[in-house]
Amino acid sequence: MNYNIILIMLLIISINTGNAQELLTKNDALDFALDHNYSIKIANNKAAIAKNNASILNNRFLPTVSANAGVNYSNTSTDNKSHTGVLSAIENAESNNYNSSIGIKYTVFDGFGRAYNYKKLRETHQISELDARAIIETTFISVFTKYFEIARLSQNENFIKQSLDISKQRLKRVSYSYDYGQTTKLEVLNAEVDVNNDSISYLNIKRQLANAKRDLNLLIGKDVLTNFKVETGVLFLTDLEKNKLLADAQANNVSLLKAESNIEIGKYDLKIANSAWLPLINFSSTYGLNTINNDINYQFLEQKSNNLAAGLSLAWNIFDGGATKIKNQNAKISIENLNIQREELVQELKRNMLNAWEVYQNNLFIVNAEQTNLATNERNFERSEELFKLGQLTSLQFRQAQVNLLNAQTNLNKATYDAKIAELVLLQLSGNLLNTNF
């Protein structure tokens, strides 16, 4: 690729990506995701539905009241014949009938079924809240992962830009030396190749950075064209202890909490099944008004009546063919399965915590090792640069020191953000992710 073409492309990318970049902090990204992430919105709506279902308004705790009203009109013509043979006729006898009533029905006792169902729905609401929390935690990890990817690429962009500047200075230096006959054309060509390669790397890193920003914008619900810069500093938590994290996981891990809520729901299902063995007592009452207006053909011009009725009814399903017994047995087996699943989950959680802890500790060791490696390469590059300027080091040797420095910078950069992500996974497994300030 022609060197001038690369410079033009770099200029275009710099113009497109350098416009008014506001700082997007980690907390800003998380807050925006909470308000605009699509999965979180849906999860919160599902939790709201579960909350509505857990209301006493949805569990037959309150009576039902109904009202009825009507009007009827009749026009009757009759021909009458008495036992003595006397004939009489009534033509177009009109009557209007107005009626209204109000009734109330209430289940006094249903074997405690509705009470257990109410508690079951409350546990279901709790599970929906935990589902929403799980989605929030997963989204937070995704936001952090993408945010730190942007931070890593941003720092790598700076490192590659510095390396490109070094390569340009080297090209300029060897070009002057060639003009004065102090070096060969091969040295100039090698320097040009290295400038081209570094320019391509710079183009690639800027494009990767732009793509990563669009990915984060989509994740948190921002316009994908929004440009921004991020915080690149990383602070590790210094108070993490393996045993405490394991204990926190037992008490706060969202999957384990859901398993425990499912066990409670299973217990309520058993009690609901047992409620079928108890009687059902219902109360009902109605009050009605009735008014009839007649014309002159009727004996009474107006008739009014009212009625009040109330009663209790009892129903007891003494034997249902064994259906309730089967439901009882199946509910007990379901509870046993839920307890088994919880025990398995406890062991899986313990394994995952220990694995995550070892990954975290290993990553911290790598960070320390890469820091030492970077310090060594920085000293090596400084010495190589001095010798290169004095003509005591070849261009290729200087290039190798330059490449080694860039690799050490990017390796430390990657190790740092990998360790931070490993730390966040530990916090998620222990149930502390949403309670930690970042």
Buried-state track 120-156, b at ≥16 Cβ within 10 A, e below 16: bbbbbbbbbbbbbbbbbbebbbbbbbbbbbbbbbbbb
**Can you give the three-state secondary structure of 91-157, one letter per residue?**
EEEEEEEEEEEEEEEEEEECCCHHHHHHHHHHHHHHHHHHHHHHHHHHHHHHHHHHHHHHHHHHHHH
| Tokens at 167, concatenated | 């390569």
Nearest Cα residue to 421 out of 160, 205, 148, 223 = 148
Cα-Cα-Cα-Cα torsion 51, 55, 60, 66, nearest 10 degrees, comes to -110
Indicate whether 299 and 232 sit together in one domain: no
Domain that holds residue 164: 3-60+111-279+322-435
∠57-61-66 over CA atoms, to 5°? 75
Give residue 20's pLDDT: 58
What strands, in cross-sheet order, belong to the sheet with 302-315? 64-81, 87-109, 280-294, 302-315
Distances (CA, A) of 375 to 358, 382, 385, 424: 26, 11, 15, 27
Q: If DSSP codes are grouped into helix, strand and coil, which group holds residue 306?
A: strand
Indicate whether 269 and 404 sit together in one domain: yes
Indicate whether 195 and 234 sit together in one domain: yes
Where is the domain boundary, 295, 315, 335? 315
Indicate whether 118 and 100 sit together in one domain: no
∠421-422-423 over CA atoms, to 5°? 90
Give residue 423's pLDDT: 97
Main-chain dihedrals φ then ψ at residue 290, nearest 5 degrees: -140, 130
For the chain, residues with pLDDT lower than 70 are 1-20
Indicate whether 267 and 398 sit together in one domain: yes
Where is the domain boundary, 265, 290, 315? 315
Q: Are 106 and 64 within 8 A, CB to CB? A: yes
Whole-angstrom distance, CA of residue 144 vs CA of residue 121: 34
Indicate whether 154 and 211 sit together in one domain: yes
CATH code at 260?
1.20.1600.10
Indicate whether 291 and 221 sit together in one domain: no
Indicate whether 168 and 213 sit together in one domain: yes
Give residue 19's pLDDT: 53
Whole-angstrom distance, CA of residue 277 vs CA of residue 399: 87
What is the model's pTM? 0.83
**Residues 6+ away with beta carbon under 8 Å from 379:** none
Indicate whether 199 and 217 sit together in one domain: yes
Whole-angstrom distance, CA of residue 143 vs CA of residue 424: 11
Indicate whether 94 and 174 sit together in one domain: no
CA 95 to chain centre: 67
Length of the chain: 438
Whole-angstrom distance, CA of residue 354 vs CA of residue 159: 35
Number of structural domains (the chain) is 2
Main-chain dihedrals φ then ψ at residue 173, nearest 5 degrees: -65, -45
Indicate whether 142 and 36 sit together in one domain: yes
Indicate whether 164 and 246 sit together in one domain: yes
Whole-angstrom distance, CA of residue 429 vs CA of residue 34: 20
